[in-house]
Structure 1
């Protein structure tokens, strides 16, 4: 079985937003002051959206736009967990889970004992944080909650404009395929759920990488191919509609990609992290690194399965279009250049044929 992964890189373009806040701003003169998330590198400040927040937006989009039925959440004391049922709930399958639990069983002698049925699943979908391409110094802006009667209540918030980058990887072999090994992250199904899955039409397939104690290939439980295809295509297609972020009432921002690269690779390494190049004394300017993309294609050519789809929104990085068209002509058998949503749709058609 070939190890295939969808590798994606995106750029967002947002103005006067506060997409992911970090709580009270202790450096502000206002009592009610909210800071945005930011991080420092080489003494420079970069705003970012946490990977967790991006995943939350992604789940919301899948629920609202792809009609996914989300796994119910159970809360006990200070912990919370989903149903941990990837057969019935696609978000458990794609986003992973951990549920620590025990069940009471009765043996042949009538004695009751507790059995550990903890299940975990490493997420097939992995993603970075979304971080500003250039260094950014957020502006602290004063606001107030005011009505016609009574005193206004002042507060402040940090806002910024930025081009932001993020990347993700989706393991195509893992989606809809579940293991039951005694190893952390690999006990995906309880014995009862495994039995129910096979009764519902799942099949057992051989694991190419794991052997049992007698030297035979271990068994995996796998959903039908049409269900696995749909979950993969939905997960990628949701990027066309994704929305979210804090302060949307007064600082609404569009967080759909304005630039995207989608490719299938036969390795786990994500090749597109250096697609944008910054320059200037404070790294305050940037440009699309087309030569970097060219270098990636040449050096990793043997690891790409199918075509690489590059999507760009009209008006964004227009000065790079001549170079991108040259890239497309140079690698005409490997590269497709088109609008963002068309790139997503065309990649999804390709990946349908790549699902084993």
Structure 2
């Protein structure tokens, strides 16, 4: 089995892409403290929403159902990963009514759940950075001498880093049995998947149904291309900014452990790409790596560190253990390789 693991780093300039609860007419960005140091962040939920909303226009997303009132409200997608890419990759939980067998049939709740295939960490500032407070006024069409309405909000400039993991064998593979694994699909839907050209398989000792390899390739390729053009974030009217990765590390690893979380780190209160750490991790995990480590690095991000990294990694680049290029080039090229079947072995678990 192969996982794509790594890290995505975005650059926020005077922005407020993800806000917490406001206080006293003051908008506050999400942040936390470690001692006296403040780290702004973007929640994984927000970052995943950016991806979902950046999917190609022709890619249908799962409709959301909302029910109940007050504290008993629920909101969930249709839970049809066979039909919708976002249900497949991002997961869901849905409770429906199912009839019991035998006489006196009655409806009882049944839960269908899909654990996420794309695991994403919180995007946290690499270096501590205390947000500043900006304020604005509303006085348009007020009478002369009338006090304006004042509103405040926070913003910050920081590089945010978050971990990534994509479980390739589970893309387009939906659990239908197992003692400790929740069923992803009703039996009738699972049967329809097989009738439409899917297959029944066993993955990690769990019975599943699986879409065709062509569709599974396509979904991964769509995700990679979407990562290259992702957009989103709050307060875009006042703090619009690029949300595509300024730096991206992505590598195929057999076991699913992510050894690259410490490559991008703080140094002298700034963001630093540690080539020595990357080199040592590649050597330590050489038996688990299933291909080159791909580094997408936008020119101009982190100043001259990109050129230094290219020089430091020259031997690994020559040996095709590392690929270093623009994030858009890396992601689109990788998507093309996936879609043309060059990495089909990554989609299977050889232990089954």
| TM superposition score normalised by structure 2 | 0.90
In structure 1, the residue corresponding to 2:107 is in which secondary structure? strand
Contact 2:79 2:92 in 1 (8 A): yes
- Shift in Å at residue 231 of structure 1? 0.6
Question: 2:192 aligns to what?
Answer: 196
Structure 1 length as normaliser, TM-score?
0.89
* Contact 2:299 2:306 (8 Å CA) reproduced: no
Alignment of structure 1 residues 31-46 onto 2, 5 Å? 31-46=24-39
Q: Deviations over 1:91-134 (max 9, x none)?
A: 11111111112223563x5x323355321110101000111111
Partner of 1:213: none
Unaligned runs of 5+ in 1: 26-30, 211-217
Determine the C-alpha separation between the residues in 1 that align with 2:119 and 2:271. 26
Counterpart of 2:330 in structure 1 is 343
1:229 aligned onto 2:224: no
* In structure 2, C-alpha distance between the alignment counterparts of 1:353 and 1:67, rounded to whole Å: 25
- Cα distance between partner residues in 2 of 1:170 and 1:287: 25
Mapping 1:118-267, distance limit 5 Å: 118-150=111-143, 151=146, 152-183=148-179, 185-207=181-203, 209-210=204-205, 219-267=207-255
* Count of residues paired in the alignment: 334
Q: Offset of 1:43 from its aligned partner?
A: 2.9
> How far does the alpha carbon of each residue in 1:176-219 deviate from its partner, in whole angstroms, 9 at most, with x for none?
00111244543111111111111211111233x31xxxxxxx53
2:337–2:343 contact (8 Å) kept in structure 1 = yes
1:261–1:308: 8 Å Cα contact kept in structure 2?
yes
Q: In the superposition, relative to structure 1, how do residues 74 and 286 fare at CA in structure 2: closer, same or farther (>3 Å)?
A: closer
Structure 1 distance, partners of 2:312, 2:321, is 10
Q: For 2:312 and 2:332, locate their aligned partners in 1 and report how far apart those are by CA, in whole Å.
A: 21
Identify the residue that residue 15 of structure 1 maps to in structure 2: 13
Match of 1:68 in 2: 59
**1:289-300 alignment, distance < 5 Å:** 289-300=274-285
Question: 3-state SS of the aligned residue for 1:301?
Answer: coil
1:286 aligns to 2:271 (yes or no): yes
CA gap of 1:17–1:270, structure 2 versus 1, over 3 A, is same
Please give the root-mean-square deviation of Cα atoms over the aligned residues, in Å: 1.8
Aligned residue among 315, 326, 349 for 1:330 = 315
Cα deviation digits, residues 323-351 of structure 1 (max 9, x gap): 32234421122111111111112222344
User: Is the 2:125–2:161 Cα contact (8 Å) retained in structure 1?
Assistant: yes
